Amino acid sequence: MESTKIECGYSKEQGKLLVLLARVTIGERLGIGFEDSGLEMTGLGGMRQSDFKRQLEHEAFSRRQGVFVTLEIDGRLRGCIGSLTPDGTVRMEVTTNALNAAFNDPRFPELTKDEFARVDLSVSILSNPEPLSFRTPEELVKKLVPAKDGVVVQKGRARATFLPQVWDQLPVVSEFLAHLCTKAGLAPDEWTRPGLEVKTYRVQHFS
């Protein structure tokens, strides 16, 4: 079954606000003021902080959806943390995951003030992951939609996900699944064996 699209999507302008929220949150931790947090990079140059805070009070940002925040520098990953099942509102999840991606991703050291000026930041809003029914590895390969599906694999306590953006680096479904299983701590060919649970979702991606 193909993942459903997000029923209550965000507009492009709302996406810009979420990206700016992530930047401002990280900037504050680094001692960087609102005006120097990269407003121009989000297309919101000239926005006043009071207007920014007021617009974030919109009810759309009080929804509960999975959120991932990704940091890149010169096209290379610099941090990515998110939640498939949110504990709070989208507004809260963006704030929490922005800080975690910048300062608590175990794959990287904490982001520095010098890096902040060069970091490209994106926010992904997830639909609810849905179980994908399949009987054979071949059927699994056929049912996944490259470039659109985010994928979760789980077996026992082992679980991992790739956002749809990862298809850009791993466009072949078998390689995508092998790397995802490895990320979960499973054998690369675990996706060909019985007992693997697979879920898919879609995202709205703002950068």
Instruction: Name the DSSP class of 37.
Output: S
Cα separation, 168 vs 145, whole angstroms: 13
- What local confidence, expressed as pLDDT, does residue 3 receive? 39
* Candidates 3.90.1150.10, 3.30.700.20, 3.40.50.720, 3.40.30.10; CATH matching 12-126: 3.30.700.20
Please provide the CATH number assigned to the domain covering 130-202.
3.30.1490.150
Which sequence spans correspond to the domains of the chain? 12-126, 130-202
Those residues whose C-beta lies under 8 Å from the C-beta of residue 164, and which sit 6 or more positions away, are 147, 148, 149, 150, 202, 203, 205
Q: How far is CA 104 from CA 77, 79, 98, 184, 205, in A?
A: 14, 8, 10, 19, 22
Residues in the chain: 207
- Do 163 and 206 form a contact (C-beta atoms < 8 A)? no
Those residues whose C-beta lies under 8 Å from the C-beta of residue 3, and which sit 6 or more positions away, are 127, 129, 130, 145, 148, 149, 150, 200, 201, 202
- What local confidence, expressed as pLDDT, does residue 39 receive? 67
- What local confidence, expressed as pLDDT, does residue 37 receive? 72
Instruction: Name the DSSP class of 36.
Output: G
Asked whether the domain spanning 130-202 has the same topology as the one spanning 12-126, the reply is no
Cα separation, 91 vs 105, whole angstroms: 20
Q: In tens digits, what is the pLDDT along the chain, a chain of 207 residues?
A: 333 444 458 999 999 999 999 999 999 999 988 777 766 767 676 778 888 889 889 999 999 999 999 999 999 999 999 999 888 999 999 999 999 999 999 999 999 999 998 999 999 999 999 999 999 999 999 999 999 999 999 999 999 999 999 999 999 999 999 999 999 999 999 999 999 999 999 999 998
Instruction: Name the DSSP class of 203.
Output: E
Cα separation, 47 vs 97, whole angstroms: 23
- What local confidence, expressed as pLDDT, does residue 32 receive? 87
- What local confidence, expressed as pLDDT, does residue 34 receive? 76
